[in-house]
A and B are shown apart, each in its own frame.
Chain A
Amino acid sequence: MTLTLTNIAKTFPGGTKALLPTDLEISKGEIVSLLGPSGCGKSTLLRIIAGLETPDAGAKIVFDGEDVTHQSVETRKIGMVFQSYALFPNMSVRGNIGYGLKMQRLPRAEIDSRVNEVIALCRLDAYADRSITALSGGQRQRVALARAMAPRPRVLLLDEPLSALDAALRGQLRDELALLLRQFGITAIFVTHDQDEAMAIADRVAVMSQGEVAQIGTPEVLYRNPATGFVARFVGDAMPLEGRIEADRLHLRGGVLALPKPADGSEVLVRAEDIRIDPEGPVSARVETVTFLGTHYRIALGGLAEGPLFALHTGLSAPKPGEDVRLSIASEALLILPRGLAA
């Protein structure tokens, strides 16, 4: 299904603008993630698409050419996975999964066969007749997905579906969910505050901040070409290099870096993995702390620029705290972004 959102905004009673006018187009079978910190409007946007919130006047929501802006949630034929899962405790796993089909008044035999189909796909065979309260968090999450998918919705909406799980399980279920969504081949919108989750699951990610979409694109585009300082910070934890810019030169406390182009009035950011310890490097810094993390060392650097800076260092050994080191940063790794959008 193709989803077209035009001029979607939400002002709460009292005047708080949860969502500024937003346009978004999602093509058939695409998985889009709405990524942002809490309060950025991502859940509000999802709930408006679901029909659980009413947008401000002037909005238009179109599912495959059909205007559903004024349809209620129960007639929109959407599937939704809630943060709390919202499974019905008074029904078994099978009862939960079959509920949407029962609402469609399908014949009993068809309900049974379709429920069995989804149960098999989500590997819930062993739990089909259990009560919801007897399931683990991961199993509940799969039941919630199966329940949303069984009625074959036009679009699947997921609201932080992994956030109720503990960290170890979350990583495993993230990959599983990505795989299942692709098997279903469904158009899906996925709300999360976790960049790893968004990147692992989505075809395209819309980064949201303060009620607006700051940038939308594939994970690679967002990572390599962030449009704003906010996106660079949120996706891949870019750190600002505060200093004085003169044409294509960045004057830092620890030396001068060459920029790929004149950047007066801009902001320069860098990611930890792009800062290299290099005896021939043009800038210097003092090692403050060194944390060994198995695959790499995380080194806190002082004296290079204002604010905290970290370098990600691989290798068999690392400099000691208190040592002075020389650093190099490839000029193409520097992110030069307009200032003032750092929100």
Chain B
Amino acid sequence: MKSVTKSIPLIVTLLACAFLLIPIIQSVLAGLTVNYFRGLSSGLTLKWVGQVWELYSGSIFLSIWLALACLVVTLILGVPAAYALARNPGRASRILEEFISLPLAIPGLALALALLQLYGTLQGFRTSWSFILVGHVLYTLPFMVRSVLSVLAAIDLKSLEEGAASLGAGPARRFFDIVVPNALPGILAGALTVVTLSIGEFNLTWMLHTPYLKTLPVGLADSYASMRLEVASAYTLVFFVMIVPLLIAMQWASARAQRIVQ
């Protein structure tokens, strides 16, 4: 009896894992087989991966470029914003924090439409990668701000800064000597989240992209729509290889930041 009650959760867990993992494995295998409809017996090949590289390497580099640009912007905007919110706790700060988080509650499509309506007529901007960047920054900024803010809120920032000031450090020195180093775990967790989200972002990007500016997920949708299944599956494989290490690093960094918060 006891063994049954014990084994039921295990079976459920294994089934859930299988439910999630089998399509992934199948997709990966599809990207590596010569002919998916004839199955594995047709043999394994890297031809499709090579073809993805030929067709979509531009998308891969654009995505990496966008993610890094997005990271730089969210660092420059997000870290000082989190610092300002942490130093001035109060009603106004709470409201501002909610405002920064607002893009999370609005569907990416709606956000993209708003951007298009407002800036779509600016020709140079509309067709530039920086147009997509604006969308990505809007979407990822709250993650950076919240991550840094939670670490800053957990340390006695006011006393630390007063200590530094009493030793002769001006505001800029205090920010770079005291605030940034002590917020580092939060900054790192935020940075990995921003990069991961930017690389994987589809909703907004799909609305904002042009035929010359396809990011990784947009290219993926494109390949499923217009290429043979093996190429699209190989594309998924490439996507995995890029995003999984980032996800693991993000988990690790968040856990580290969380330890400080507690």
A-side residues, CB < 8 A to B, are: 50, 52, 72-75, 77-80, 82, 84, 86-90, 99-100, 103-104, 147-148, 151
Contact = CB atoms under 8 A, between A and B. Distances in A.
Contact of B182 (A73, A77, A89): A89
B178 A88 contact: yes
Nearest to A97: B167
13 contacts: A52-B162, A52-B166, A72-B165, A74-B166, A74-B169, A77-B168, A86-B162, A90-B181, A100-B167, A103-B167, A103-B168, A103-B173, A151-B167
A80 B167 CA distance: 8
Contacts of A74: 165-170
A99 B167 contact: yes
B156 interface: yes
A79 B163 CA distance: 9
B176 to A, nearest CB: 11
Contacts of A100: 167-168
Interface in B165-198: 165-170, 173, 177-178, 181-182, 184
Contacts of B168: 74-75, 77, 100, 103-104, 151
Which 7 A-B pairs give the minimum distances between C-beta atoms? A86-B163, A100-B167, A103-B168, A90-B181, A80-B166, A86-B159, A73-B165
Contacts of B153: none
A74 B165 CA distance: 5
A89 B166 contact: no
Interface of B: 155-156, 159-160, 162-170, 173, 177-178, 181-182, 184
A88 B166 contact: no
B167 A86 contact: no
Contacts of B181: 90
Contacts of B169: 74, 99, 103
Contacts of B160: 86, 88
A77 B181 CA distance: 25
A104 B167 CA distance: 9
A132 to B, nearest CB: 11
Given A88-B178, A89-B182, A90-B182, A148 B159 contact: no
A239 to B, nearest CB: 38
A95 to B, nearest CB: 10
Nearest to B173: A103
A82 B163 contact: yes
Given A74-B166, A80-B166, 8 more contacts: A86-B159, A88-B177, A90-B178, A103-B168, A104-B168, A147-B167, A148-B167, A151-B167
Given A89-B182, A90-B182, A103-B173, A73 B159 contact: no
Contacts of A75: 168
Nearest to B168: A103
A176 B167 CA distance: 23
A157 B163 CA distance: 12
A164 to B, nearest CB: 12
A226 B162 CA distance: 36
Contacts of B163: 80, 82, 86-88, 147
Nearest to B171: A74
A177 B170 CA distance: 29
Nearest to A99: B167
B156 A84 contact: yes
A50 B165 CA distance: 10
A73 B162 contact: yes
A315 B173 CA distance: 63
A167 B195 CA distance: 50
A89 B151 CA distance: 13
